[in-house]
Structure 1
């Protein structure tokens, strides 16, 4: 069995940005056609969220996101010998589900900024954003139902199961905010449901559309889930130490709302003076000052939360490579998947 690594020289000509650009070329027309089929206001909210136009409907040059999930669908299909173009509907469906969850998450978390501009609920109102998200979820299922591919029915079931798991992860994440005894095991399980599940489904659906076996689809699901956990660990680090100019969010955004992210939970459970100091700051029943935010970040680092998250991310990537080898024995066939995996671990926003 071939060895999978993240060394760049194994993927010359397969840089992640090229992979993402090709995915956008295939998927964007399908996404736009789907969104264009929505009734007036829902169409306007969805298009604004995707960055295609401003609130008044005029064209926009805003970001539409990185398109990692649809790119994973297409790269997985190619890795298993399929035609990526035949998996375009599946890739678009995954991206619609991802963005429907973002619309709802922004409301739940009361986030006011996404992709460097006001969130959809802030611009159009909570009701309109919720309904647009619901409609985008339905569009995803309709795309698969109308695709005509032999495995479309299986893909619908997989994506539907995934959405239930995503909702469970979000519910648990919200419940954690009311608890002071959250364990790292619970936190990792929540992150797998909230973030890993959809990346796993994306990779598994790509395998299915390529005609892969159920065992291959399950291994690809495992690969995506491990990638998702690595992704979440990096995202949590960015939520504390990310550059606002890059992230489009305030300094220490996660600390500001007392989010129990993975490095924070690692620090709180460390039994160290820094961990105790962090617990005291998190227990304050008032907004944190800029100085206190800086103290929180220093406490997370001093308690070992930052180092733990970085190390755990590396371990999850190693586990992902093991799963990938089960589905795709020849490393060269998985170049694009490896490029995307590298992007996850080296991103800054």
Structure 2
């Protein structure tokens, strides 16, 4: 077991960020100046005027999953750094587009890229990160690099399908629980599953290990989304970096909301009335919405499902046949993801 696998989950994330930081910066620096400025701002490396900054660039959970999966199957983390950089680029591509689609004004405690540079430049910067991710993966010379790029390309299509479903559901009055779950699986579960599958592939894992680690990541990704949706309603803005109740203000059909709307309870019916209003909700409306979701069981249902998905994720680790000592880092990271506050 490596030193990092024996460390705490926060230590693992710090290690992951250090492992990829140089390669990630070199990749971003290869972009044309216009898209590079937007990406560097979004990642917290520069302020809006291009001056150096040292701000929050995200948790680096996905790169950590890539590197830990490579180690877990007997490889060394260095062989999977390119894939770790690639999934971080894909993640930030999706965030840039998400912020535009959701009209979010803040991310990571400051103005979103589109509000600073404009809609078009933010979208184009996201597109640039998507292309760059595949370039990074193919440029490594790893014998499985082509397989890894094809795998990631297919997973990106699923992620985009999930983003489109998310946007479509916001425009509809009724969304059933099954389609909301499918959307979350595609939008969030896909990339975490891709992260562990890519790490296992480049680390030399066999097909059985790759598949079990993919399912570990997919279950963890869905648990991540349940927790994220809980924080989107009840999280503290000074911790999450987003305005309080931002999801409710947009009347987003998140997992707790859909559970409440389909609960058959009086609280769920009252919530549906508030969600159908044409006028923007007041602060009092937002408080009432959160209370109604809780009364209808949406918060409890989401937390219960996140806990069950954590269990399922850890069961996939066991089923992979990877020795428990080698899976320690993946287990610790999974527990952090499902207990996080931001």
TM-score bracket for this pair, using the shorter chain length: over 0.9
- Of the three residues 326, 330, 336, the one matched with 2:329 is 336
Q: Any unmatched runs of 5+ in structure 2?
A: none
Per-residue Cα deviation, 1:249-277 (whole angstroms, up to 9, x for no partner): 11211111000100100000001010011
1:235 — aligned with what? 228
> Which of 185, 192, 200 is equivalent to 2:185?
192
Which one of 258, 262, 266 corresponds to residue 259 of structure 2? Answer: 266
- Matches of residues 194-209 of structure 1 in structure 2 within 5 Å? 194-209=187-202
Correspondence for 1:19 among 12, 31, 42: 12
Distance 1:329 1:81 in 2: 9
How many residue pairs get aligned? The number is 339
Classify the secondary structure of the residue corresponding to 1:331. Answer: coil
| Pairing partner for 1:317 from 296, 310, 323 | 310
| CA 328–29 in structure 1, closer or farther in 2 if over 3 Å, else same | farther
Q: Which moved more, 1:296-305 or 1:316-325?
A: 316-325
Q: How far has the Cα of 1:14 moved from its partner?
A: 2.0
Are 2:33 and 1:40 equivalent residues in the alignment?
yes
Higher relative contact order (CA 8 A, sep 6+): 1
Contact 2:72 2:322 in 1 (8 A): no
Q: How far 1:215 moved relative to its partner? A: 1.9
Name 1:8's counterpart in structure 2.
none
Match of 2:245 in 1: 252
1:103 aligns with 2:115: no
1:283 and 2:283 correspond? no
> Which whole-Å CA distance do the structure 1 matches of 2:296 and 2:174 have between them?
17
Whether the 8 Å CA contact 2:229–2:255 is kept in 1: the answer is: yes
Question: SS of the residue aligned with 1:346?
Answer: coil
What are the superposed Cα offsets for residues 121-169 of structure 1, whole Å, 9 maximum, x if unpaired?
1101111111111111111101111101111111101110011001100
TM-score for the superposition, normalised by structure 1 = 0.95
Note the C-alpha offset of 1:180. Answer: 2.4
Bigger shift: 188-197 or 206-215? Answer: 206-215
SS in 2 for 1:333: coil
* Kept after mapping to 2: 8 A contact 1:14/1:335: no
SS in 2 for 1:265: helix
Question: 2:171 aligns to what SS in structure 1?
Answer: coil
How many Å apart are 1:12 and its aligned residue? 8.7
- Give 2:135's aligned residue: 142
Partners of 1:292 and 1:188 in 2: CA distance = 26
State the 4+ residue runs in structure 1 displaced beyond 3 angstroms. none
- Does 1:117 find its partner at 2:107? no
Preserved CA contact (<8 Å) 2:200 2:209: yes
| Structure 1 position 329, deviation (Å) | 3.5
Q: Is the 8 A contact 1:328 1:334 kept in 2?
A: no
Aligned residues of 1:240 and 1:255 also touching (Cα < 8 A): yes
Structure 2 residue 50 is the aligned partner of structure 1 residue 50 = no
Q: Does 1:171 align with 2:164?
A: yes
User: Is residue 145 of structure 2 the alignment partner of residue 152 of structure 1?
Assistant: yes
